Structure 1
Amino acid sequence: MDTVTWSLLFGVLQVLYIEVVLGNGCFTFQGSCCILCNPGYFLPQECGTCTPCPATGYTDKRNNKSYCDHCQRCEGIFRYVEKCSSTRNAVCTCIPGKKCTDEKCKRCKTDRCPAGQRLVGQKCMNCPLGTFNTGAEHVCTPWKNCTALGGVIINNGSHTSDVVCGGYVTKKTQSPGPTAAVTTTTKLRSVPEPSPGLSNLDIACIVVPSAVVLFLIAICVLWREKLTEKMKHLFQNIPKPIVKQTEEEDGCSCHFPEEENGAEDEPMTLEA
């Protein structure tokens, strides 16, 4: 055999020796010892074979380390972008509504985009056309459909505000003349928004003044009753005036003197 044939045969035997004896994780060897492992493997002994990393570990470079690096776990406020493999660590990101504080996303912080924007991934981007965000929400809300509400658009919407709708109200008027012609004028009115329920503050503003008014009325009624009783008691204690009654003789009563001579039944005699 020539030299080329022997070289090829030696190379094939070397590859077979590495894969069969030292394992396919060995990158370079010296004698019967592997001295450098491929990614995904580690070297537990100085002279031995390369061992695959467990499911919870990885090596992303050629190495002679006696251990594998631990895989990152994406839990709680984190979620997986890529899961861990024997040659690559897991890639985590923050859950929606939170933002990574560094490139490796070791920490998260609450993120709120400014008005007119929303959070896409880890960046704030403008709301799509036809939606808006006042800055109080994390998402963009679609504009109102004025046609569906029976009106028209009075003010156009923007990234930070909703559209303002309006409707048409027809009013019939009769023009003077021999022929009664009916004309129609159109006035624009705004379509009222559905009124929300009373808030706790509104209820408090109604209940508290009412309670105060009722309390004042009750005080006035009690005060009036007490004042009335006091006045009655005061009038009862006032002494009554003493009226002196004098007997007046009746000047018109005349008493005829009784006849001294004789009694009433004695007959009168006529003297000669």
Structure 2
Amino acid sequence: MLSAFQGLYVLLIFSLVLNYTVGADTGCEYWTLSGTHDVCCVRCKPGNRLVESCGRDPEKLCTPCEPGTYTLTSAWSCLRCTQCIGIRFTLKPCNISSDTVCGCKAGYRCGDANCSFCVTECKAGEEPTKNRMCRKCPKGFFNDQVHSSCRELKSCPDEEILFKGNATSDTICKHSEKRPTEQTNWLPVFIAGGMAGLAVLCIIASVVAYVKAQNKTEKKPKTDSPDQDNSDESGIMVVEQEDCSCHRPEQEQGGSSESINTQDSESKLIV
């Protein structure tokens, strides 16, 4: 019969195992049927390792990992949980389906994606080295970020220096007004220039058309009024009437005979 101390120990172990495997299903998750009426496990449930490949009961083909171990695949054995020691501390404890997540103390940072080791965190003005240490940026270089490589300081060959760079800040140059910067966007300038040129061409074409129209109007001959035409014709008719005799031919002949008779009578009187 177990003593009270032994019973408390077994209860403690049982509670640890229960808490460790809480939320985990046991057995096989995906299986296929074999020719002998058995089932063969293809994939165990998360946190379970393979016990038998085939059998009558799929729930007995896989079993959960033991405390302190885990598995990510349907392997025959589980992996031991990582221990966060030294300058590392535990961010998330291990369970049967995932490993422990570690972090580094202040002033250090993880050296790889799994945080399997820690390295000294380099401050601004420094850069990390291959031996996991930090060194100051060499002359002519700077670094304004944490734990990154140093970069070369900017040079200002034709410009005024507003701020001379140092190990933590880059050089600041005063851009010349006569020389546009590399970030200038010339597309709006070209569009505005093209529109202005098109407007000027339209104005010139309008002025030329107006001048041509005025020249045609000045060169067109003036037409005399109908009254003036009628007066000229009447004047011509009057002149013609004055030059011509108004007597009929018979009257003209009679007149000539009368003048002859008169001359005869006069001659008779003289005789």
Give the number of the structure whose residues are more often strand, by fraction: 1
Global fold match (TM > 0.5): no
If you compute each CA radius of gyration, which structure gives the higher value, 1 or 2? 2
Q: Return the TM-score normalized by structure 1.
A: 0.31
Structure 1 or 2: more helix by fraction? 2
